[in-house]
Amino acid sequence: MMDVGRHPRIKLLTMSEVVGVKGYVGNFQARILKKARYVDEKECTACGECTRVCPVVWPDEFDLGLSSRRAIFSPFPQAVPSAYLININECLGHNPVVCAKCVEACDKGCINFHMSDEEIVEEVGSIIVATGLEVYDPTELDEYGYTRFENVLTSLEFERLVNAGGPTNGELIRPTDRKRPRSIGFYLPPKYKAWVSGLHS
């Protein structure tokens, strides 16, 4: 992603979605909704001072809820652009009477609660449709007890635990008591082809 962000011939629009396309091959007009991040991405240096004073704590989506983040945060390590954003639905600061501590902490004045979503029109010759995927909900696999039994994890949650940049800095521990497991079982149900790992005591 960093290489894409640096490429002179690529314009990277984060927090954006295509809302309309018209035209024909070689001459498309794409309407893109760029959502407000409430932080000036060109001025923000990701120093983290705003995060340190934010009183709102929320489960971190990138770590699949295994760690927490603030209402003003960086989506993930090495995110491009290297700038923070505010989830305005969680933030108390858009009403300065309640908070706005991050505004006071930001020496560069990057935070702007008056930002709004904007629509951008781009002229493009070709469009690549990359639909992505949705994460499978393992609670349907009742025989493995995900959410019923403690320390049963999905493969993505397991990956975040063993990742050096994850919530435990790569140390494999059980989420409940933060102790190392004596044994680990991996399951690959042939019907669903979804990995589920169980950390046993």
Range of the domain at 185: 138-200
State the pTM of this model. 0.79
Stretch 178-193: mean pLDDT: 76
> Token pair for residue 129?
């449709």
Domain assignment present for residue 66? The answer is no
Query: Where are the strands (E) in the chain, listed by range?
Result: 16-24, 27-34, 57-59, 68-70, 72-73, 85-86, 118-124, 152-154, 183-187, 196-200
Higher-scoring residue by pLDDT: 143, 17: 17
Domain assignment present for residue 88? The answer is no
- Count: domains in the chain: 1
Higher-scoring residue by pLDDT: 66, 194: 66
Express each pLDDT in 72-125 by its tens digit. 999 998 899 999 999 999 999 777 768 889 999 999 999 999 999 999 999 999
DSSP state of 4: H
Domain assignment present for residue 158? The answer is yes
User: Which residue, 182, 163, 183, is CA-closest to 155?
Assistant: 163
pLDDT, position 38? 96
Residue 194 has pLDDT above 60, yes or no: no
145 pLDDT band (50/70/90 cuts)?
Answer: confident
Domain assignment present for residue 177? The answer is yes
Domain assignment present for residue 36? The answer is no
Domain assignment present for residue 122? The answer is no
Residue 5 has pLDDT above 60, yes or no: yes
